[in-house]
Amino acid sequence: MAKVIKFDAGKAVFGKEFAIVDTFDNVQLVNKGVRRILEALEKYDTDQNNSQKPVYLYDYQDIIAPLVIDEAGKLLGLSKEETKKLKGISYSEVFNFYKSAAQDFVSISLPSMELLSGALEALNTASDEEFAKQSPKDEEAK
């Protein structure tokens, strides 16, 4: 059975609703788009680490948002000028549309601020727990 992702928010700007089917071409397009987003995040992390600069969570949003707009435009079959109009629509609607396509078409969770914040919190909690387990004798032995 075909999977269909609807983008109703486009009606206000483009005068029509969009329904994107999980054709082979669309699946490949989403896969390439998600890969592009993940590679951009990885490049940021690598660049920050190589230059010994901290990684900031808010920088991830600056990386993710324009790429989601661009990739959503490609998936919707919009021209570059039409894709720019997506910036005038609720970002959460554009993001949720593309996130649904990634999840339903290629079974990949699109990185989001909520997901990244949760991962960072879990990492910090694990670090705090590990630090608490160390006794003063452990520190002296180092």
Side-chain-facing half-sphere of 140: CA atoms under 13 Å = 3
User: Could you tell me what percent of the chain has a pLDDT over 70?
Assistant: 78
pLDDT score at 125 = 65
Q: What pLDDT digit, counting tens, does each position of 14-56 carry?
A: 999 999 999 999 999 999 999 999 999 999 999 999 999 988 8
What average pLDDT does this structure show over 117-125? 61
On average, the pLDDT of the chain sits at 86
| Category of 52 on φ-ψ map: left (φ > 0), alpha (ψ -120 to 50) or beta | left
pLDDT score at 124 = 58
Check residues 126 and 98 and name the one with the higher pLDDT: 98
